[in-house]
A and B are shown apart, each in its own frame.
Chain A
Amino acid sequence: MNNLKNILPLLLVTLWFGCEDLDFPDPNAPSTDVATVQTLVTGAEAGMRSSYALYLREVSSVGRETYYLEPADPRYTGELLRGPLDPGGFLVYSPWASRYRVIANCRILMTQFADDAGASGFAKTIEAYQLSLILNMQNENGCKIAPYNGLESDFVSKDAGWAEVAALLDAGYSELNSAGSSFSFTLSSGFAGFDTPATFAQFNRALRARVAVQHDDWSTALTALDNSFMDPAGAMSHGVYHVYSSGQGDGGNGMYADPTATFVKLMAHPTYETDAEAGDPRFSSKVVERATEITYDGLTSDLAPTMWTGDYDPVAMIRNEELVLLKAEANIGNGGDGLAEINVVRAAHGLADASSGGLSQLLHEKRYSLFLEGHRWVDMRHYGLLGELPIDRDGDEVFTSYPQPESEVPGS
């Protein structure tokens, strides 16, 4: 039939469209297999900063170093200070998820680039560091360790978790020691001075010392400190930092706020002033007493932090001042008084020597030296002293552990 000739072009068009291949790669982003050592390392380094400001706000609030007075979200002053902590809420979830996201990068590095000892040593060190932050929060409720099979992986106990952290640090340390003189990748300026296998290994040992002290393993701690970058004569600020910038895909520290603004969210706990030694520059350089106080949800403070002067100031991971105090702590653990190291730190701040050492003096020094660096709650819990932390409102309490996140527990 002649009409067929009219239909023929239609059929041809149909066939042409019909055979078309509709498949194409993701127009927005690469897949896992195209990632390089450099992009994975940089991604891990950048990812370590995700939710880190949140982590500091949380542990500082629970440890009664600070308040986070957030009118837009009552959970910072409700859940964190009074409870109950919501296993499905972001305060529990976000720090957890952000740390494991970095661990996922570390795992890809370890599997896709297993023969790069430097990359593997980096990955194990960072994974251990991330797990230690998780365990700081979760404490008695444990964590998940490799293999990371989601709901099929059970939680391991706190002790097994810390054992994994120590093992990863030690394995990473030995890999770093066999990784030659330089890395196959570049680190950010936050690792300035720690960007070769040998110097990165000092960062690894510093973390190892921190973990050992938390577990009363004094001799391991002292050995690790010797192999770390601890330097009683050096600058107290020397160490490893998270760095920030306004560059593409980068971000701010999340800690800075103008202390003179009419409303500041992150405020020091009033006891940080009342417990301070007269003239302690660590107090006066870290907070400022405002003309007006800030009140929210029954909490009041006039102490605004001044440790950061802008959105892109660095935030410490671990630094010399902590290491010197860790040495004091280990010595006290071994029966000494730690006074020598304590006075090294005090002298560095222009303070007169302390009359005596011992645990309570050490905890005072740590509180003022390492304010807002995430240690107060962990230290007080370590020594069973959470009961000494101040309670501001009826019904408030100090938690010892974060609940297991709802999304990690089958059936919840």
Chain B
Amino acid sequence: MKKQNNMLFFVMSLLCMQMLSAQAMTVSGTVSDAQTGEALLGAQVFVKGTFVGTTTDDNGAFSLDVESGATLVVNYIGYKSQEVGVSEGQALLSVQLEADVLKQDEVVVTGLASSVKRRNLATAVAKLSGDELNGSPSQSLDQALGGKFAGVHIRRNTGAPGGGMSVNLRGVATIAGETQPLYVVDGIIVNNFANQSGLDVVSAATGAGSPRPQGQPSNRIADINPSDIESVEVLKGASAAAIYGAKASNGVIIITTKRGTSGKTKVNFSQRFGSRNIINKQGHRVFETYQEAEDQYGPDIAALGNDAGGNWANRDIDYEDALYGETGNLKETSLSINGGNQSTQFFLSGQYLDEGDIIVNRGYERVSGRANIDHRVNDKLKVATTVYLSNSFSDRGITGNDNTNKSFNFSFAFTPSFLDIRQNEDGSWPDNAANPSNPLHTAAVLTNEETVNRAMGSTRLDYNLMRNSDMSLDLIGTLSADYVGQENTVFSPPDLQDERGKSNPGTSVLTNHNSLNTNASFNLAHRMSLGGAKLNTTAGYQAETVDYNNSMIIATGMVVTQTNIDQSAATSALQTRRKQQDRGWFVQEEVAVGENIHVSLGVRSDRSSTLGDTEKSHMYPKFAASYRTGEIAIFDDLKVRTSYGVTGNMPLPFAKYTAMSPLNIGGMSGLVTSGLKGLDGIEPEEMTELEYGFDGSIMNGLLGFEFTLYNQNITGLLLEVEEAPSTGYTNKWANAGDMKTNGMELDLVLNPVRTRDLNWVSRLSYYTTSSEITRLEVDPYNTGGFATFLGAYRIEKGWSPHTMVGAELDANGVHTILGNETPDFIMGLNNRVQFGAFSLVAHIDVKQGGDIINLQKLIADLGGTTFDYDDQTLDLDGDGTKSGNGDERLTVLGGVTAPYIEDGSYVRLSELSFNWDVPKSFLAGKVSSMQVGVSARDLWLSTDYTGWNPDVSQFGNVAVGGSVDTGPYPMSKALYFNVSVGL
């Protein structure tokens, strides 16, 4: 067999050589930047209409055997593509590429083994380079994505160190299913679970009122070092993401990390120092007299506000500052080494990040390393491997909802500023008379630590089965694994005020989480030129397995300094496993006719262990077409496009099972119905999207635009609906509704000044979206929040799933609509100005509308400490007297919810950076480049929202019920000084 293969190869090579040798000539040349004249290494040079080509070397030079009269196409990432005719006798070509501000020539991934230039793309796909992503430092990738794409909403569920963000693409796509997009890093479908920390055990947040986890966990995309990223692509809707089938209805985020380039080895070192502070304080009520205090807290507590002489001491301690007023020190050290020769290239990087935070003892630390290696074994076989390891550590404190009055925010709300609960001189802590815990003591000794070890690796083989001047066939195989080992320890020492009263004081919760995601994919890619048309056929098979094991041990009755769970009086354990196996195949055909018409169609089929019928294949077709006019009227280029696609959203892996839960007594094991009834025949949700739009540019690239409308229909909504509890179950899974989500997206790029010394690029992204439930087979119901009178979401036909209601009913007993989580619009405005060696980047995020149920305000009202408690601007009970806002709100509590539903609009200066490239003449020795600068993240926030965080989501990454504020970790601003040096 081997012989035959070699034989075939030999014959084909001979044929090719013969064809070429007919009128062959060798053309050499260089490729450089039109503006700066710098040589471009690694630029691709191809003979137009064939697969014959090469790349430029270290000096930007290339040499290629061509037929005379051929046309060369030169491509380089970030530059406009250029065609150059080769005439006989022309030996040396000088190709100067212009920067592609409008990104028309950017290559965009359109399938598992195919890509296309944006110019020809028939769907709206957003792409960002690593530079654009990392304008200002960010702890996690999702933070860096914020505001940079139309149709992408990044929410900071919590400001806690170590992340905890939700990424929403194109509005609501589900109600109770998975909400987060699929993340694909270098072909690996990576784990982005948000694993609960066990904090709920200590806060008892998941108790009386709400069964849902509220630990405000970090999600695992935070483990990835943002500075390793070469580019990020966001496939927002079903039309673009259909090729990912049943997992793609929340969109897909494709991340490509940096890879080595051949040539001289380049070393890049950068160091950042900075500080972090709270961005937005709430304020608190000040008690002017003893009488005010007594009215609120009774004589025992009010007397504590008196001085030794029994007179009102007028004490006013800012506990918000005491709790959240720390300055966190920030350090980040990064090193990357990149180089290689023609056959082997490598990219190595390492980063150490150490960030303090705004609450004492809290912070985030991460060490990570990456090795990306590419090797060309021979003409046919290429191997690319990626290995990424990271270790991170964070302490997130205790914030958010709480049923023990222990969290910082609850304690803050219940501690009036006239009480002095600061540490005594002997180091002991006074008890808090107004609240079951002393938050300053809690902050000093309670730990909520998270250690994550992450290992991701993949190997990709590209094997060229055949290639000639108008056809090629490649086999691409990828194997990958992604391991997460996470340990959370929450330790609440026995000497804390609230622990001392328990039978077994002191709690230590140890959670161990191990998960392994493995992926295998095999794809065939066939490319062919046929007359003026190019055909690109891909087909492939994917297998994915998720194996997740979470165990939690709760120990109570602890020794003061000892967190070890065996140093306890009592322990109990919990374990959750999650196993998922998915198998899918796809076929896709892309056809380009000339330069004007581009058509793509494909289908994906998926089976999954999470579905009721694991044998059934679910089919996800797609179709897309675009037409380019070329230069027309005032347009440099104009493209109209339309696409259609279907994707799915898998049910949660346990949703098909009806299980019994353990419940024991007296050392005997018992079983009871688990409360949640599974659905044997559960189906995936299905999203059908129709997208259309146009894009282009005018006046020689002065203004570029991209406009998209989309229309999504989601059928078979997965709902965790209420079951009448008299059946023994409280909830059940059902595929019981349909929803539609529509939206509009607009991206504008303005390049008003483009000279050798000054380049100003301004980008605007704007989008709106709205959703409506169009079919509901079950009774309308309230969900999210804690109780209807505390604000809840209502799922009802004809309503938006983000509709907020409360205790208020109209005359017919219908819930009055009090708010809606969906913002009116989201806008990002990004400006980059390059002035000689100076560059300035400013990024502003705007959220208009989007209501929040501000229960932290209610908590403060109940504690009697709300900043506006004594203001007299509200008359809610209708008695004609404005008797103080706090009292007014509490008097009508139970019947009136509206005062706690607030507008969450904001304008935020998310990034600001100013850098100076030190002129080469200043550099000495081996230093080839140096940059110094300052940068800031979230420097300024303007909002009418009275809570800490207008992006809050108490329940983490949920589609419905997120905008509930029970006092998350406050948002902070960070300021950095950076130096980077290239060798």
Residue ranges of A at the interface with B (Cβ–Cβ < 8 Å): 2-3, 5-7, 10, 13-14, 17-18, 20-32, 35, 38-47, 49-50, 54, 71-75, 78-79, 82-84, 86, 88-90, 93-94, 96-97, 100-105, 107, 143-144, 148-151, 153, 186, 188-190, 243, 245-250, 252, 256-258, 260-264, 292-293, 295, 297, 300, 310-312, 405, 407-408, 410-412
CB neighbours (8 Å) of A26 from chain B are 654, 657, 659
B501 in contact with A258 (CB, 8 Å): yes
User: Complex: how many Å from CA A14 to CA B585?
Assistant: 9
A313 and chain B: residue at smallest CB distance: B503
* Residue from A7, A43, A311 with most neighbouring chain B CB atoms (10 Å): A43
Closest to B787 in A: A89
Q: Is the CB of A42 within 8 A of B664?
A: yes
Contacts of A5 in B (CB 8 A): 1
| A179 CB → nearest B CB, Å | 20
A123 and B781 alpha carbons, distance in the complex (Å): 33
Are B726 and A262 within 8 A (Cβ)? no
Smallest CB gap from A30: residue in B: B660
Q: A39-B670, A71-B436, A101-B675 are in contact. Are A261 and B725 (CB under 8 A)?
A: no
A336 to chain B, nearest CB (A): 40
**Complex formed: what's the CA distance from A317 to B763 in Å?**
70
Check B84 for interface membership: any CB of A closer than 8 A.
no
Supposing A72-B410, A104-B727 touch, asked if A407 and B432 sit within 8 A by C-beta, the answer is no
How close is B513's CB to chain A, nearest CB, in angstroms? 15
Bound together, the chains give a CA A111 to CA B895 distance in angstroms of 45
Q: B665: which of A28, A46, A93 is its contact (CB, 8 Å)? A: A46
Q: What 0/1 readout, one digit per residue, does chain B (847-864) give for beta carbons within 8 Å of chain A?
A: 000000000001100110
Q: Which residue of A lies closest to B549 (CB)?
A: A27
**15 residue pairs from A and B, CB less than 8 Å apart:** A6-B463, A14-B522, A26-B654, A42-B670, A86-B789, A88-B787, A97-B730, A104-B728, A151-B779, A246-B556, A258-B501, A261-B500, A261-B501, A408-B725, A412-B779
Closest to B583 in A: A17
Contact between chains at B863 and A249 (CB < 8 Å): no
Q: How far is the CB of B588 from chain A (nearest CB, A)?
A: 16
A43 to B660, CA, bound (A): 10
Does B4 sit at the interface, judged by CB under 8 A?
yes
Interface majority SS (helix, strand, loop, mixed), chain A:
loop
Chain B residues with CB under 8 Å of A54's CB are 208
The B interface, classified by DSSP as helix, strand, loop or mixed, is mixed
Q: Is the CB of A411 within 8 A of B666?
A: no
Chain B nearest CB: distance from A156 CB in Å? Answer: 11
Per CB-CB distance, the 4 closest pairs between chain A and chain B, nearest first, are: A104-B728, A42-B670, A246-B570, A258-B501
Per-residue contact bits, chain B 3-17, to A (CB 8 Å; 1 contact, 0 not)? 011001000000000
B576, B583, B725: the one within 8 Å of A407 (CB): B725
Whether, in the assembled complex, B671 has its beta carbon less than 8 Å from a beta carbon of chain A, the answer is yes
Q: A22-B607, A22-B609, A29-B674 are in contact. Are A262 and B556 (CB under 8 A)?
A: no
Inter-chain contact A101/B728, CB cutoff 8 Å:
yes
> Complex: how many Å from CA A243 to CA B668?
12
Query: In whole angstroms, what is the CA distance A102 to B588 when docked?
Result: 54
Q: Whole-angstrom distance between the alpha carbons of A87 and B748 in the complex? A: 51
**Out of B466, B658, B663, B807, which one reaches A46, CB within 8 Å?**
B663
What distance in Å separates the Cβ of A285 from its nearest Cβ neighbour in chain B?
19
A105–B581 CB distance below 8 A: no
Closest Cβ neighbor of A96 among chain B residues: B725
Question: How distant is B671 from chain A, measured CB to nearest CB, in Å?
Answer: 4
Determine the residue in chain A with the shortest Cβ distance to B661: A29
Say yes or no: A43-B670 contact (C-beta < 8 A), given A22-B583, A100-B728.
yes
B504 interface residue per 8 A CB criterion: yes
- What A residues does B859 contact at CB under 8 A? 72
B946: A residues at CB distance < 8 A = none
B657 CB to nearest A CB, Å: 4
- A245–B501 Cα distance when bound, in Å, is 18
Does B414 sit at the interface, judged by CB under 8 A? yes
**A2-B4, A2-B8 given; 13 more Cβ-contact pairs under 8 Å:** A22-B608, A27-B578, A28-B575, A31-B657, A38-B668, A40-B671, A41-B670, A93-B725, A101-B728, A247-B664, A250-B665, A257-B501, A410-B779
Bound together, the chains give a CA A259 to CA B664 distance in angstroms of 29
> Could you say which of B141-149, B223-231, B293-301, B313-321 contacts chain A?
B293-301
Contact A72-B404, Cβ < 8 Å, known A148-B728, A248-B572: yes
Query: Judging by beta carbons under 8 Å apart, are B672 and A245 in contact?
Result: no
CB distance from B569 to the nearest CB of A (A): 7
Contact B403 A30 (CB under 8 A): no
CA distance A82 to B572 in the complex (A): 39
User: A17's closest neighbor in chain B, by CB?
Assistant: B543
The answer to whether B894 and A32 touch across the interface, beta carbons within 8 angstroms, is: no
Given known contacts A30-B671, A46-B665, A75-B787, A17 and B726 CB-to-CB distance under 8 angstroms: no
CB-CB under 8 A from A247, the residues of chain B are 570, 572, 664, 666-667
Q: Mark B566-605, 1 if CB is under 8 A from A, else 0.
A: 0001111101111101110100000000000000000000
Bound CA span A103–B726, Å? 8
What CA separation (Å) do A297 and B893 show in the bound complex? Answer: 12
CB atoms of A105 and B673 under 8 A apart: yes
Instruction: Looking at the assembled complex, report how far the CB atom of A110 sits from the nearest CB atom of chain B, in whole angstroms.
Output: 13
Q: Which residues of B lie under 8 Å from residue A153 when comparing CB positions?
A: 724, 726
Q: Is the CB of B894 within 8 A of A188?
A: no
Q: Mark B657-695, 1 if CB is under 8 A from A, else 0.
A: 111111111111111111100000000000000000000
B275 CB–A CB distance under 8 Å: no
List the B residue with the shortest CB-CB distance to A188: B666
